[in-house]
Structures are given as C-alpha cells and as structure tokens.
Amino acid sequence: MAKDRFAADLADLLYTRAHKGKFDNIVLVATPNVLGELRNQLHQVLTDKVVGEIPKTLTNHPLTDIEKIVKTDLAA
C-alpha cells in the first residue's frame, strides 16, 4: 500500500512540475513494481514527456554511476 501511495504522490509531484514547464522530457527510473504503479498513475501530460523507462533500483548508487547506467540503458 505504501508503494501505491508513493507512486501516486510522485505522479502528482511530476504532474505539477510538468504543468509548470519545469521539464520537457523525463526518464523514469524505479523498481519494476514501482515503475508499473507509477505508469498507472501518470496523467497524459506526463506520459507525453516520458522518453524512457528504466526498471532498476539505483538507491545508494553514486550520482556518477546513475548517470552511466541511465546513458547505457537509454542507448540500448
């Protein structure tokens, strides 16, 4: 249930920022379960901005490693 609430809260936050023009495109990175739930919660405004999804857990990775993983996964 906490996972569902997290996805709903994140979807709301991203919608607010997208609606304010804070970003044009977004790559979603989350565990497969959270990513699936997040996908169900996204408003059309956000789904139009999603340019990639990475179903991975990157918690506790250094930012430089996250950058490399995202670049590698998006290039594949």
Assign 39 a pLDDT band (cuts: 50, 70, 90). Answer: very high
Quote the number of domains for the chain. 1
The beta-strand segments (E) located in the chain are 26-30, 50-55
Read off the pLDDT of residues 41-65 as tens digits, 9 standing for 90 and up. 999 989 999 999 999 999 999 999 9
Q: Report d(CA 63, CA 43) in Å as an integer.
A: 28
Read off the pLDDT of residues 4-35 as tens digits, 9 standing for 90 and up. 788 999 999 999 999 999 999 999 999 999 99
Instruction: Write down the mean pLDDT value for the chain.
Output: 92
List C-alpha distances in Å: 56 to 1, 12, 21, 30, 43. 20, 21, 27, 5, 22
List C-alpha distances in Å: 24 to 32, 36, 47, 60, 71. 24, 22, 11, 27, 18
Range of the domain at 15: 2-75
